[in-house]
Structure 1
Amino acid sequence: MDSDTDDHASDEGAGTNAFVFAPSPLLTVTVEAAPNGGNELHVHPGGQGFWIGRMAAILGMDVHLCGPFGGEPGGILVDLIRREGLTVHPVATARDNGSYIHDRRAGEREVVVDVPPPTLTRHETDDLFSASLAAGMAADVAILGGPHCDEAVPVELYTRLCSDLSALKIPVVADLSGATLTAALEGGVSLLKVSHEDLIECGRAASEDLDDLIEAMKSLHEEGAGSVVISRAADPAIALHQGEVWEVEAPPVKPVDHRGAGDSMTAGLAAAHAAGKPIEDALRLGAASGAVNVTRRGLATGQRQAVERMVENVQVRRLRRDGA
């Protein structure tokens, strides 16, 4: 974590407790070109749950991450995640965590090795659910990230977790796609963030046309999402909240690495949601978090002061009321 992220808490995240469901923590190794012409080796935690949690911590939240950890990669991951300022609730597994090695010396990411996470056993799945429910009950907001691959955890775990946390009056913010998205909607979520590419790929949106995406948001709301936010890559994000459609436009910053922008947006949305901020404020913080992330190398990283200043440059506009 950047040294200056502990200076002062973001108004949106300060004092709030976030539970983050991370079903597939990854050990990541990236080879970069050093300024002197040599090589640099970067070893970090990874996986969507961790990336969301790291940005939530940068925004001032007290983040409690729950996930499966096993073998040598698992032990290293727990230590690395704690160094990022997150509290880890590890669930022991018999097999190693997933991992990857990427080579970025030529500028683009080249996959050298990709070790997928193992499928959890029945007992490991039960332990993960119990630990997650306990951490979620102590939180102001529960944030659900997706698995690295479909086989990592049973999708019905998302239905149960969303249903039980919602029944316990814990707001659920989810950033999911495909089968896990459908499963989470069955349990109910307070706020859903999803990319337009994922909606088109899984057949929930006919195209990237604005009207098609708005119809997709309405369907997602009817299936169990209280509010819906759709990220649209470089185009303005859109949102559906209480029958109103909003457009969210971040400044056109020059990207260094677009990866992690969506996870950063989810963290910003969750931080504001947990603090009880209006939807306009949540959308601004989410967009600002994503915009700052793309100016850096490293997924879901940034400086809190930069995010707070970026918020002032995000435009939020109401497009439609009551779907009209």
Structure 2
Amino acid sequence: MVFAPSPQLTVTVEQVGDEEEIHLHAGGQGVWVARMIKSLGVRAVLCSAFGDETGRVVRNLILDEGLDLGAVEVAARNGAYVHDRRDGERTEVAQAPGRALSRHEQDELYNVALAEGLRAKVAVLAGVADEQVLPPDVYRRLARDLRRNGTTVVADLSGDYLTAVLEGGVDVLKVSHEELLRDGRAPDDAVPSLVAGLFTLREDGAANVVLSRAEHPALVLIDGEVFQVELPRLEPADHRGAGDSMTAGIAATLATGRELDEAVRTGAAAGALNVTRHGLGTGRADVIAQFTTRVRLTSVPGHPASAAPDRESRQGHTSPEQLAEGAKR
């Protein structure tokens, strides 16, 4: 189950040869995560609210992609933004934020997400582009209710939403080093400071933490031990979406019953390969599975992890067939 309270409508203007083209897509973190999970052969139900004309368009675009929906019809509109990419760079033209859900609409969305989450092996809690849509406490309650009843909770959040989900408790937290710094959870981006931040997040309620660091190796805290994620360098076509694809890869692999260290490698592979493509949350399962064999979890200089040799020796990768079989189970 992917919790994405209010997906957005994205409108992109592009130049193709001598012609201008306009493309409509469903966007937002939760949509991108669900899209990549589906690409990996695992079924995902996107739990979201849809309202007004933007909501109707976004809902149909999601259904056209073949994604499953736990949809709630609301009066509040979904957000939309328009950007111009005719010169190769992304320039924002206009943005209309999503509207706040009423108390009744919040309750309806919560009940749908809870029901789908309890049916799922893994629940991903994704953020909202417009903070007025939903209060952070909904995330605290949902994380706590799902974990208490046996669902593995993966969260990719920041700010007040991160604080709330930590209070509820989370099995795997994905966060970027920029978000860690912005939230005041680390004083700088030096490795010792970031490692200390990982352990602080663990004390606050995250059982395991994955910290992405842009072009630098990600840092992970698994079962109380710290590792860095080493993978081959690739030239990016579009740097956006790497973190969301990483979250999706972790969740999809856990849903098939694989171990967290393998889930992290798969997530890192999905994120790295996503930046070589145009289109957020896209990729091929067979290519990602092959690239996973090149990803290593190694000791962090100055912070040796006693289990590092064991992590490196367990380099089996998740094949598309294993992903599909796990999704059936």
TM, length-normalised to structure 2: 0.90
| 1:14 aligned residue | none
Alpha-carbon distance in structure 1 between the residues aligned to 2:238 and 2:231: 16
Q: Is the 8 A contact 2:222 2:261 kept in 1?
A: no
2:128 is the alignment partner of 1:147: yes
1:104-123 → structure 2 map (5 Å cutoff): 104-123=85-104
- Give the count of matched residue pairs: 304
1:31-70 → structure 2 map (5 Å cutoff): 31-34=13-16, 36-70=17-51
Alpha-carbon distance in structure 2 between the residues aligned to 1:276 and 1:225: 20
Question: 1:298: how far off?
Answer: 1.2
**Percent of pairs with identical residues:** 48
Alpha-carbon distance in structure 1 between the residues aligned to 2:119 and 2:62: 20
2:96 is the alignment partner of 1:96: no
- State the AA in 2 paired with 1:231: S
Residue in structure 1 matching 2:184, options 189, 203, 208: 203
| 2:324 aligned residue | none
Cα RMSD for the two superposed structures: 1.3
Alpha-carbon distance in structure 2 between the residues aligned to 1:255 and 1:159: 35
- Which runs of 4 or more aligned residues in structure 1 lie more than 6 Å from their structure 2 counterparts after TM superposition? none
Residue in structure 2 matching 1:25, options 7, 22, 25: 7
TM, length-normalised to structure 1: 0.91
Residue in structure 1 matching 2:239, options 258, 283, 308: 258
- State the AA in 2 paired with 1:214: V
| 2:326 aligned residue | none
Q: Is the 8 A contact 1:243 1:322 kept in 2?
A: no
Residue in structure 2 matching 1:321, options 298, 305, 310: 305
Structure 1 window deviating more from structure 2 (311-320 vs 143-152): it is: 311-320
Alpha-carbon distance in structure 2 between the residues aligned to 1:306 and 1:38: 33
Structure 1 window deviating more from structure 2 (23-32 vs 307-316): it is: 307-316
Question: 1:148: how far off?
Answer: 0.4
Q: Is the 8 A contact 2:147 2:153 kept in 1?
A: yes
Structure 2 gap segments, 5+ residues each: 308-329
| 2:196 aligned residue | 215
Alpha-carbon distance in structure 1 between the residues aligned to 2:299 and 2:259: 13
Q: Is the 8 A contact 2:11 2:82 kept in 1?
A: yes
Q: Is the 8 A contact 2:274 2:281 kept in 1?
A: yes
